[in-house]
Chain A
Amino acid sequence: MSAINLKIEFGGGLELLFSNQRSHRIAIPANVPVPTPEGSDVQTKPADLTYLIFWLRDNLLKERAELFVENGTVRPGVLVLVNDTDWELEGEGEYQLKDGDEIVFISTLHGG
């Protein structure tokens, strides 16, 4: 199975949930299974940002998952940049990841 390499950065205090490490290099599968009803054939789709968020929660996150993920996406107040561009311009969770992408998660939850 082919893999894509990504650079992940955390900022604004979010790194505290990820071993206090700001920068990570990871490899995830290029194609991932789509959840289907039991008994039907396993289908796959290209890995997207939503998959990455759950992958990070399951593989890199060390504590308090509720501060990172909420209702199937990142918690309100977390800004996501895809190659230095707001993920809202890239389709948010539906953005299909490419090899070499740099994804930044910045928490805005630390108030004034």
Chain B
Amino acid sequence: MSCGNPTTEPDALMQRRKKYDKTKNCVKCKDTQGNIVIRHAVYCKNCFIPLLVHKFRRTLEPSVNPKPDGPRRTALKPAGNLLVGLSGGLGSSVLLDLIYKCYIALDKSTMPAEGGRDHPRHERVWKKVTVCYVEVCDAFPGMKDRTEEIARFVSRYDELDFVPLRIQDAFDRTWWEKTGRKASFSDMGVSLSDESLLIESLSAGHPDPLTALRTYLSSLPTPTAIHTSIQILTRVLLLHTALQTSSSHLLLGTSLTSLAVSLISGVAQGAGFNVREETMEEWTPDPETRPTPDVVLDDVKDGADKGKKQLKRTVRVVRPLRDIGMKECAAWAWWSHIPIVGKEKWVWPGAKPGIGTLTKDFILGLEQDYPSTVSTIVRTCGKLAPKGEVSGKCILCGRPAQRGVQEWKARISIRSQPPPPPADPTDGSAPPVPVVPESKSDTRPSLTPYLCYPCHTTLTSRSARPVPSPWPNAAQASVVALPVWTEARLGAGAGGEPSPADEEIMVAKKMGQAEMKGIVNEFLLDD
């Protein structure tokens, strides 16, 4: 059987499949004509609103109490305040609207029907809610500063504190001190020009935050690395702000669609070990960068010793829109009259789209044609359990690092190859084996042992083609400044913590035939 020709045979074209099942009526109330199709199911506007609130609450509330997934018979009692990350995009704007209606204004339309009027669920959950916006306009040329628009947007809602940050605060010691930490560490930087990532001192002293940011971005090897680094800097700035505002929860407006994008793009960049952290994570600051001693006075009456309780400050990062697709967010925003400020694309002259941009285009197309597939991606990733042990936290992104990745990387990759010896066809010997050249520079302190696999790859994986920099004039420094939290940990490490120089150093060298024979001699069979 051959394929028909659609120009001559109209029946040869497949019938276009309807985007909804059976009827146009709402699947919940049955008799009203539907307004929106969500993964083939039709909902009317009146049923859509409570459905979305239900999905939001169902995702968020099990993680509000310190013990997650515990019985929720009692009221929701978080261990601290709430910080909401706002980017100005659709997801985070919808998130803020939902937080406000459900937990601040206590809007009746968003309350669950069961439980009665005085049910503890209807009380205010977080005492203080702060909104944090990180302005990234200084990272890319020609981008508009939207801080004022965002501030206006936040002012629509009462009782919210607003903390505007700038992306260069990640390199600002003054900001670090404002968060309650000491900034008395030496001027150290890293050489991003080769993959050994040697830690060196900044010869010209610590640059101003904006210069440091632009130099850092310009020294990164690919557009993907620039995008990923901005995301990491933003995330860690938010985490430290959560700590500063005594927040136990940081909420992000990652929708189902955005989560599918970040999962796939993360795996593509080597972050498979952190696939769980993309959905939900618990972040604890490093001991050396904690702002205050972790001892709080409890109001227990029996004795001063018992009254002191060791508290490990933890920020739980939750994405309450992770069951809600981008289309549902757009419909909620439209029907709730939320003015979306919007985000600009992270582009600069000559830049090619990175892995994140390409993945987003792919997932959006997939969602359009096969709406359920995006949900399948997220559910499948939710079943993954990373293999391997955790070996501390990455000094750059703060996520768990997998043990032994550098040894594994050294085993599987050819780092450098000596020039091949002149070919001798009569020799018949095996081709030369590539070896890593023995070098004295390998013993110098490097950032590598402190990094997780994806961050190491982000800093070192080079493109075969030349990459235009967003700030070509800034790409002059051979040693670039690091984010303040990285500097703080490196500084603490130099003062007593094990430094990479103290650790076991592995050097690969080519072994002579006689030496090799000496080692295996006792296992050789006699001729």
Contact = CB atoms under 8 A, between A and B. Distances in A.
Interface of A: 11-13, 16, 76-77, 79, 81, 84-86, 88-89, 92, 104, 106-112
B252 interface: yes
Secondary structure at chain A's binding surface: helix, strand, loop or mixed? mixed
B253 interface: yes
Contacts of B88: 110
A79 B35 contact: no
Contact of B91 (A13, A88, A111): A111
A86 B37 contact: yes
Contacts of A89: 19-20, 24, 34-35, 37, 42
Nearest to A74: B368
Contact of A76 (B33, B343, B367): B367
Contact of B34 (A85, A109, A110, A111): A85
Interface string B319-349: 1010000110111011000001111000000
A107 B329 CA distance: 10
Interface of B: 19-20, 24, 33-37, 42, 45, 87-92, 252-255, 257-258, 319, 321, 326-327, 329-331, 333-334, 340-343, 360-361, 364-365, 367-368
7 contacts: A11-B334, A86-B36, A92-B19, A106-B331, A106-B333, A112-B87, A112-B90
B87 to A, nearest CB: 6
Nearest to B43: A86
B253 A112 contact: yes
Contact of B45 (A12, A84, A88, A112): A84
Given A77-B326, A110-B340, A85 B87 contact: no
| Most chain A CB atoms below 10 A, which of B90, B255, B361 | B90
A107 B89 CA distance: 10
Given A109-B364, A111-B87, A13 B36 contact: no
B421 to A, nearest CB: 52
B324 to A, nearest CB: 11
Contact of A110 (B33, B90, B331): B90
Given A12-B330, A89-B42, A112 B36 contact: no
Contacts of B254: 112
Contacts of B340: 11-13, 110
Contacts of A112: 87, 89-92, 252-255, 258, 319, 321
Contacts, number: 92
B334 A108 contact: no
Given A76-B364, A86-B35, 12 more contacts: A79-B330, A86-B34, A89-B19, A89-B34, A106-B330, A106-B333, A106-B334, A110-B88, A111-B90, A111-B91, A112-B92, A112-B253
Nearest to B333: A12
Nearest to A110: B89
Contacts of B343: 13, 110-111
A79 B331 contact: yes
B321 A77 contact: no
A13 B20 contact: no
Contacts of A81: 331, 334
Contacts of A11: 330, 333-334, 340
B35 A108 contact: no
Nearest to A92: B19
A81 B368 CA distance: 15
Contact of A104 (B24, B36, B87, B334): B334
Given A12-B340, A110-B90, A110-B342, A84 B35 contact: yes
A92 B340 CA distance: 25
A12 B20 contact: no
A-B CB proximity, top 8 nearest: A13-B342, A112-B91, A88-B19, A108-B326, A76-B368, A110-B89, A111-B89, A76-B364
A16 B144 CA distance: 13
Contacts of B45: 84
Contacts of B34: 85-86, 89
Contact of B365 (A16, A76, A85): A76
Nearest to B40: A88
A16 to B, nearest CB: 7
A104 B340 CA distance: 15
A85 B373 CA distance: 23
B250 to A, nearest CB: 13
A80 B90 CA distance: 16
Contacts of A107: 90, 330
Contacts of A79: 327, 330-331, 334
Contacts of A84: 35, 45
B139 to A, nearest CB: 16
Contacts of A16: 342
